Amino acid sequence: MMTETHRGAAIAISQTSKRYADFVALDAIDLDIKAGEFMTLLGPSGSGKTTTLNLIAGFTEPDGGRLTIGGQNVLGLPAHKRGIGVVFQHYALFPHMTVARNVAYPLKLRSMRKSERESRVARALAMVKMTDFAHRYPSELSGGQQQRVALARALVFDPPLLLMDEPLGALDKKLREWLQLEIKRIHRELGTTFVYVTHDQEEALVLSDRIAVFNQGRIEQIGTGRELYETPKTLFVGRFMGESSVLRGAFSVANGKTTLSIGEQQVTVPGVLAGKQKPVLLLRPEKLRLLHRHETAPANCNVLDGQIVECIYLGSGAKYEVRLKDDSIAIVRSSEEGDFARGDKVQIAFAAEDARLLADDERAEMTLT
């Protein structure tokens, strides 16, 4: 374990844009990252995550805006003078150097004494549990081991900030899940600021203090995983974070409530959207109850008729796809396996406060398919 416990550097990005010819890769983003925070940049491919990381690292310069690291303006400062650790998916190790020499490299660049270098390399390798591999060459390591060495190399000089771009992207699921926990532990031990890029929302939930959700060069929302899942501000964020169903239909508004018609039935929720926005309801699968048609729904619930088109056994419970009267599909998740089968005529029931009222947005669906 590293003995110096220092706090990481805060980052402030404001009104920062990046264009490639007439293509806007980043559109005036604002992002404040606290000292020592684990911030994840999450979004689909092409949404601007890597561009943002490259700007922080100094690999590219923005077309406008402000960027400070630890309170210092770093625009114009070359990457090697920013003192940042970097791990990329394909940021390869030097193939002709052993693990120990790879990890020592940033210290050599900084002209550190040999004895100091050796103790730091030993500490960094211990931190990523690669001590026994110090004399191997990268070609003698698995993908996961190589990324652990890359992590040790990025942290060996005690940077106040570590940037990681999909570092686990090339690894299989079990290994990825184990390394996620290792990265989380290392972050906790060091107190360094981590900025992590992924397109995998489950990975973001496991790792992050907060998550910034990117879509088409903009940040749609910044918050904890819980905030993004439970109170998304946009349909895109709601759809991107976890599973959901969306109800659309003719709507009316009265007494501060919105009513949607699905087939012959109506559902009503509290709240009204501002302006002329078309409302939709976002429903989480675990907030929906599945009932047989003859069952009476719990009081104060919205109820919609449907038919089960798919039953999926998940080990821990089951997932059902229910076709509603307007042909849309609702996804229901249940921890106990009820006596439901494909083809059953059913009802779904949900409490009004469990539905999120959001503005419809075609882009939300387009970007996801």
Residues that bind Mg ion (CB under 5 A): 50
Which residue, 88 or 229, has its beta carbon nearer to ligand ADP? 88
In order, the DSSP letters of 299-345 are TTEEEEEEEEEEEEE-SSSEEEEEEETTS-EEEEEESS--S--TT-E
Report the sign of the C-alpha dihedral through residues 15, 16, 18, 24, in that order.
negative
Minimum CB–partner distance for residue 219 and ligand ADP (Å) = 12
Query: Tokens 């060996």, residue?
Result: 156
Which residue, 28 or 134, has its beta carbon nearer to ligand ADP? 28
Q: Is 46 in the site for ligand ADP (CB under 6 A)?
A: yes
Number of residues that bind ligand ADP (CB under 6 A): 11
Estimate the crossing angle of helix 99-109 against helix 143-155, to 10 degrees.
20
Q: Is 106 in the site for ligand ADP (CB under 6 A)?
A: no
Bridge partners for 42 per DSSP: 198, 213
* Position among 51, 180, 198, 221 found at the interface with ligand ADP (CB under 6 A): 51
Q: What contacts 366, CB < 8 A, 6 or more positions away? A: none
Which residue, 74 or 213, has its beta carbon nearer to ligand ADP? 213
Contact 3, 42 (CB under 8 A): no
Minimum CB–partner distance for residue 22 and ligand ADP (Å) = 11
Enumerate residues 8-37 that contact ligand ADP by CB under 6 A: 20, 23, 25
SS3 at position 213: strand
47's contact among ligand ADP, Mg ion, none, with CB below 5 to 8 A by partner kind, is ligand ADP
Minimum CB–partner distance for residue 176 and Mg ion (Å) = 17
Which residue, 47 or 145, has its beta carbon nearer to ligand ADP? 47
> Segment near ligand ADP (CB under 6 A), from 46-54, 130-138, 145-153, 243-251?
46-54
Q: Is 50 in the site for ligand ADP (CB under 6 A)?
A: yes
Minimum CB–partner distance for residue 241 and ligand ADP (Å) = 16
Q: What contacts 206, CB < 8 A, 6 or more positions away? A: 177, 180, 181, 184
Contact 220, 209 (CB under 8 A): no
Total residues found in the chain within this entry = 369
Contact 121, 103 (CB under 8 A): yes
Angle at 190 between CA 189 and CA 195, to 5 degrees: 115
> Segment near ligand ADP (CB under 6 A), from 8-16, 44-52, 125-133, 183-191?
44-52
Which residue, 219 or 262, has its beta carbon nearer to ligand ADP? 219
Pairing, β 301-313 against β 318-324: antiparallel
Which residue, 20 or 94, has its beta carbon nearer to ligand ADP? 20
Q: Is 368 in the site for ligand ADP (CB under 6 A)?
A: no
Q: Report d(CA 203, CA 225) in Å as an integer.
A: 11
In order, the DSSP letters of 56-78 are HHTSS--SEEEEEETTEE-TT--
Minimum CB–partner distance for residue 53 and ligand ADP (Å) = 8
Q: Is 178 in the site for ligand ADP (CB under 6 A)?
A: no
Residue 42, classified by CB atoms within 10 Å of its CB into exposed (0-12), middle (13-18) or buried (19+), is: buried
> Segment near ligand ADP (CB under 6 A), from 38-46, 186-194, 247-255, 340-348?
38-46
Q: Is 47 in the site for ligand ADP (CB under 6 A)?
A: yes
Which residue, 23 or 313, has its beta carbon nearer to ligand ADP? 23
- Report the chain's C-alpha Rg in angstroms: 25
46's contact among ligand ADP, Mg ion, none, with CB below 5 to 8 A by partner kind, is ligand ADP
Which residue, 124 or 154, has its beta carbon nearer to Mg ion? 154
Q: Taking the mean position of all CA atoms in its chain, how far away is CA 328? A: 27
Minimum CB–partner distance for residue 216 and ligand ADP (Å) = 9
Which residue, 47 or 98, has its beta carbon nearer to ligand ADP? 47
Contact residues for ligand ADP (CB under 6 A)?
Answer: 20, 23, 25, 43, 45-51
